[in-house]
Amino acid sequence: MIVKICGITNPEDAEAAVEGGATAVGFNFYPRSPRYIEPERAGGIRTRTGVRRVGVFVDETPARITEIARIAGLDIAQLHGEEKPADYPAGIAIWKAARVTAAFDLPALESSPAEALLLDGPGSGLMFDWRVAAGSTRRVILAGGLDGHNVAAAVAIAHPWGVDACSRIELAPGKKDFTKMIEFLQAARAAMGL
């Protein structure tokens, strides 16, 4: 099971996330994101053995994903673009992400050969109807608007494989609020039986 803190940009936030019980940390390699981190800087942020290192990408080439994964020491590429399975890079686990909007098509997404599907809200920090995820036959990671106040309800409704928090546990983009982050981690771990 996955409890992920995304948008890590500095060693202090990564250390607090891991100490608080995160099983995965995410680094955003989309240059237009306010949480963008250079691959070399991400590679210098150490995490405990067993904590999965996830790279967030949007419409990046497989060759560049492979290069960044090597530099940053990634275990997983989380793909948020229009990638098709033929575009997935080899040699790294894939989490295929999709925003749950009115046009969302879960059955079409479920044919992806990705390790997991990450279902995100329709915009940064926005929630979606978690019942959509409950119908999946695949490993699902819930994202979008999760924090310590609502993650237990999300888990109870969707029964996901994992949960992911970012913007609602921040002081500012790329800087975590340790109190909110720990509240989320404790609530998520308890809800998921970890």
Beta-carbon count within 10 A of 5 CB: 28
In the predicted structure, residue 94 carries a pLDDT above the cut 90: yes
Q: What is the DSSP letter of 87?
A: G
Which residue is catalytic, options 6, 13, 147, 166?
6
Tell me if 109 sits within 8 A of 136, measured CB to CB: no
Burial of 24-60, coded b for 16+ CB within 10 Å and e otherwise, reads bbbbbbbeebebbbebeebbebebeeebbbbbbbbeb
- Please state the rounded mean pLDDT for residues 123-130: 89
Annotated active-site residue 166? The verdict is no
For the segment 154-184, what is each residue's pLDDT rounded down to a tens digit? 999 999 999 999 999 999 999 999 999 999 9
What is the C-alpha to C-alpha distance for residues 77 and 96, in angstroms, rounded to an integer? 8
Confidence check: pLDDT of 56 > 90 = yes
**Overall number of domains in the chain:** 1
**């990564």: which residue's tokens?**
14
- Distance between CA 161 and CA 118 in Å, rounded? 10
Q: Give the structural domain span for 36.
A: 2-191
Catalytic residue among 59, 87, 105, 120: 120
Cα–Cα–Cα angle for 100, 101, 105, nearest 5°? Answer: 70
Give the CATH number, domain containing residue 125. Answer: 3.20.20.70
